Amino acid sequence: MFNSKVFLAEFIGTFALIFVGLSAGIVNSDLIGIAIAYGLTMAVFVYAYGHVSGAHFNPAVTFGLALNGTVKWAQAVVYWVAQFAGAILAVFFLKTLVESLGADISGVVTVGALNEPQPILAMVVEAILTFFLLNTILQTMVNGKNSIFAGWAIGATLALATLIGIPFTGASLNPARTLSTAIFAAPSLTSVYTYVIYFFGPLLGATLAVIVSNFLNGTAEEEMEEDEENTEVEEALSAGE
């Protein structure tokens, strides 16, 4: 079922995340500057649109939340279309701006030192970093019942993941970001490793985050049930006395 509000929120949020984050790279910000750009943008738009769409802004995050049952698979399609459209438009707009000044958009390229010599390790890095991101989302916005600090926790996680991952893979964690930059710059759309690293890697990380979250949440529920049973037994014994 098409939800125009969700579509617009995810489109704007993804556009903002990609536009601001890649802009920081284009103006030659250092690693900390780029990480802060991504993290702050994510935090701001989680608070802005979290109540509308859940503020995914990332197809891998949506995949994980659909796998978790937080959103339906039919709804996930709406998220994905909005996210890819927002990311592609963001890169196209950046390309137009930069080229009007006589420069190029090489700063938006999503690649790292591991891509060529160790693509499988690059995939593992993307999986681990995506695991960190979705783990925080699940433990704060989903299982944490939308904690008041969820936005800052998620933004900080993305900032740290970006800071760590840029040298190794470019720290995409986001298939929409990778596809949008690949259309206009790099990595190559014809290379199988583009999809192994930047699509399969984040989806694998999202899947692992859901498995861990379900285990932790299930354990917490079991402990609560045990506590309730113990309380009932104690009350019954007290009544018998």
Lowest mean pLDDT among 20-24, 50-54, 124-128, 225-229: 225-229
**Torsion, CA 72, CA 175, CA 127, CA 165, rounded to 10:** -140
Burial class of residue 93 in the structure, from the number of CB atoms within 10 Å of its CB (0-12 exposed, 13-18 middle, 19+ buried) = middle
Note if the pTM is more than 0.95.
Answer: no
pLDDT value of residue 154: 97
Alpha carbon separation from 77 to 62, 66, 129, 192, 205 (Å, rounded) = 9, 10, 23, 23, 20
Distance CA 158, CA 152 (A): 10
Tokens of 29: 């910000």
Architecture per CATH, domain 4-240, reads as Up-down Bundle (1.20)
Q: Cβ contacts of residue 230 below 8 Å, gap of 6+?
A: none
Q: Cβ contacts of residue 85 below 8 Å, gap of 6+?
A: 11
Lowest mean pLDDT among 19-23, 108-112, 133-137: 108-112
- The pLDDT tens digits of the residues spanning 130-154 come to 999 999 999 999 887 767 899 999 9
Q: How confident is the model at residue 237 (pLDDT cuts 50, 70, 90)?
A: very low
